[in-house]
Structure 1
Amino acid sequence: MKFSKYYLIAFLSFVIWGFFSLALKPLHDYPSLDILFYRVFMCAVIMAVISLFVRVKVLKENVKKFKEMPAAQRKQVALLTLAGGMLLTANWFFFIYVMNHISVKAASFAYLVCPIMTTVIAYFVLDEKLSKWQWTAVLMSVVSCMLLSFNNIADIAYSLIVAASYAFYLVSQRKNAGLDKFLVLTVQILFSALILLPFYPKYSAALPSEFSFYALISLIAIVFTILPLFMNLYALQGVTSSTMGILLYINPLMNFAIALLYFNEQINSIQIIAYSLILISIVVFNERFIFGRRRAALI
């Protein structure tokens, strides 16, 4: 695999997400829906302001480009963009629920399953080819997930829903080409906000009064939502969905380390073995980039 800025950006986006629990866990006393409402609404306001007042030229150029597309392409771009907004909404809600009401490790497990789902879906839907080493890495990931699921059967259903929603998001957005990625993400966030808005009056709790709540929501919106999601969409222009899926393992590995070292959650030997397999699988999947580059340096 040839090193590129897309690969680096994909890697960094998941490193950023790895610290998400540090901002989310302090909000565990608030309902999951409230966190989702304010996260999405905050993102929608910020991105709408940027697109309408800061990136006006880009907005006009892309509106013109969209109108000039063939009808079939316009329909595909519109459907993929709106579907992405729905998938993001579902993914965020279930992730927040699992993180705050099940455990950090359960949320991490969802993103252990997600790379496998992404790789397999991309293989069948996008016809992305994998080498023998990459299939070996996928098999190692499956084994690690099986090990982790033995003592966490009750959490698997939640984990699968979280994983599937983001796996389908990554694969669908790989096919969503032709428009500025930040603008696409803006439309998706605004669509997500429109989906949630009718539910806000009935299902939201009392308006939070603590400054810390809004400070953390702002941090989550900018650093842990807009930035990594834009980096994901940008990286998908140069790397495959399956590569993005495997790099996604960086997120749960960091969550696992934070759960162990910061939140003091209990672990056992099986979990240590499983997460070690995942770390090895990342290296195996990317062996052409890691070792190929080294071989090139020696020549």
Structure 2
Amino acid sequence: MRLNKYYLAAFSAFFIWGFFSLALKPLHNYPSLDILFYRVFFSVTTMLLINLCFRKKVLKKDWNQFKKMTAKQKRSVIVLTLGGGVFLSSNWFVFIYVMNHISVKAASLAYLICPILTTILAFFILKEKLSKWQWFAVMISVFSCVLLSLNHFEDIFYSLITAATYAMYIISQRKNSEIDKFLVLTIQLVFTALILIPFYPNYSGALPTESLFYGCLSVIVVCFTIIPLFLNLYALQGINSSAVGIMIYINPIIGFLIAIFYYKEQVTALQLFSYFLILVSIVVFNEELIFARKLKMAPSEIEGLK
């Protein structure tokens, strides 16, 4: 079934992000904002070079396509693309703030709240339909997050803000399908860089000189920024925001396993049970795909997949 490649793209994006700590941990002595600045600036430089050197035909094709659009279509593309850049840069800013000034648990909890928030917002904003099994999966997710937030209710507020920015990014890009996804991502990162530049002189530290910093940053830019973000946008072409949102759980599950088996961090029985419930919710949410049940689609939807 053709939809499988979109599920695979979404799964791959969040699977890759699950290993982010392996590249980020060696840079723990560097200020978080410096990592953010250079991550964005290097990503923009890399993507601009790729577009200008290898994708000139795509750029010309999309520019000609954009010129043929109606004024309403042009406005929609511009608003969704730049709006996505705002949500993406906001998410990175807020995540750094929560990580440094609130707590690591609040930042981690955001990744667990985000799929629930994405599913609910997509239901109300995009009118995406959910089956009774998918709603059941959402309820399981809510229960697991409540268990993980016990005795840490103050973290929920900050986690909700972090989760909401990324949830809105996913939802906004679901409708942004008029131009090439790699170009969309390039424009969004350029826009994010323009937002960050005014803050760079006052909030950046000394220019890093160690090869470790630039080596890890190269891995972060290519493997944990450009590739998964592109896969994320690509997945939204073929599956709805709720399905992509629920895949976010793959990220903290892998991070949780790395924390246990690689970094040897201590975990409680309650945490183990909560993460197990999250894994169950992913299976339940995608039960039609996993168990190869026949998807019920309208004739128009079937025609659109040809």
**TM-score, normalised on structure 1?**
0.94
**Change in 2 beyond 3 A, CA 1:98/1:265:** farther
Displacement of 1:52: 1.4
Q: Is the 8 A contact 1:91 1:165 kept in 2?
A: yes
Aligned residue number for residue 126 of structure 2? 126
What is the SS of the residue equivalent to 1:171? helix
- Paired with 2:271 and 2:283, the residues of 1 have a C-alpha distance of 19
**Change in 2 beyond 3 A, CA 1:34/1:62:** same
Aligned residue number for residue 55 of structure 2? 55
Displacement of 1:152: 2.5
- Paired with 1:267 and 1:147, the residues of 2 have a C-alpha distance of 14
What is the SS of the residue equivalent to 1:292? coil
**Change in 2 beyond 3 A, CA 1:256/1:99:** farther
| Structure 1 unaligned spans of 5+ | 295-299
**Change in 2 beyond 3 A, CA 1:213/1:33:** same
Aligned residue number for residue 274 of structure 1? 274
- Paired with 1:154 and 1:25, the residues of 2 have a C-alpha distance of 26
Q: Is the 8 A contact 1:105 1:259 kept in 2?
A: no
Matched, 1:255 2:255: yes
- Paired with 2:114 and 2:133, the residues of 1 have a C-alpha distance of 19
Aligned residue number for residue 151 of structure 2? 151
**TM-score, normalised on structure 2?**
0.92
Alpha carbon RMSD of aligned pairs, Å? 1.9
Number of equivalenced pairs: 295
Q: Is the 8 A contact 2:105 2:155 kept in 1?
A: no
Aligned residue number for residue 210 of structure 1? 210
What is the SS of the residue equivalent to 2:212? helix
Q: Is the 8 A contact 1:108 1:251 kept in 2?
A: no
Displacement of 1:103: 6.2
Q: Is the 8 A contact 2:95 2:107 kept in 1?
A: yes
- Paired with 2:140 and 2:215, the residues of 1 have a C-alpha distance of 40
Displacement of 1:108: 2.8
Q: Is the 8 A contact 2:44 2:190 kept in 1?
A: yes
Q: Which amino acid aligns with 1:209?
A: T
- Paired with 1:2 and 1:102, the residues of 2 have a C-alpha distance of 43
Aligned residue number for residue 165 of structure 1? 165
Q: Is the 8 A contact 1:110 1:159 kept in 2?
A: yes
| Aligned residue runs from structure 1 range 192-207, under 5 A | 192-207=192-207
Displacement of 1:233: 0.5
Displacement of 1:106: 4.1
**Change in 2 beyond 3 A, CA 1:183/1:103:** same
- Paired with 1:277 and 1:205, the residues of 2 have a C-alpha distance of 42
Aligned residue number for residue 297 of structure 1? none
**Change in 2 beyond 3 A, CA 1:100/1:194:** same
| Aligned residue runs from structure 1 range 94-105, under 5 A | 94-99=94-99, 105=105
- Paired with 2:10 and 2:23, the residues of 1 have a C-alpha distance of 21
Q: Is the 8 A contact 1:32 1:93 kept in 2?
A: no
Displacement of 1:24: 1.2
Q: Is the 8 A contact 2:3 2:238 kept in 1?
A: no
- Paired with 1:23 and 1:155, the residues of 2 have a C-alpha distance of 26
Displacement of 1:9: 1.1
Displacement of 1:72: 0.6
Q: Is the 8 A contact 1:247 1:282 kept in 2?
A: yes
Displacement of 1:98: 4.5
Q: Which deviations, in whole Å up to 9, do the C-alpha atoms of 1:124-160 show, x marking residues without a partner?
A: 0110000000000000000000001113334323322
| Aligned residue runs from structure 1 range 7-18, under 5 A | 7-18=7-18
Q: Which amino acid aligns with 1:223?
A: C
**Change in 2 beyond 3 A, CA 1:198/1:206:** same
Q: Which deviations, in whole Å up to 9, do the C-alpha atoms of 1:36-58 show, x marking residues without a partner?
A: 10000000000011111210110
Q: Is the 8 A contact 1:44 1:193 kept in 2?
A: yes
Aligned residue number for residue 292 of structure 1? 292
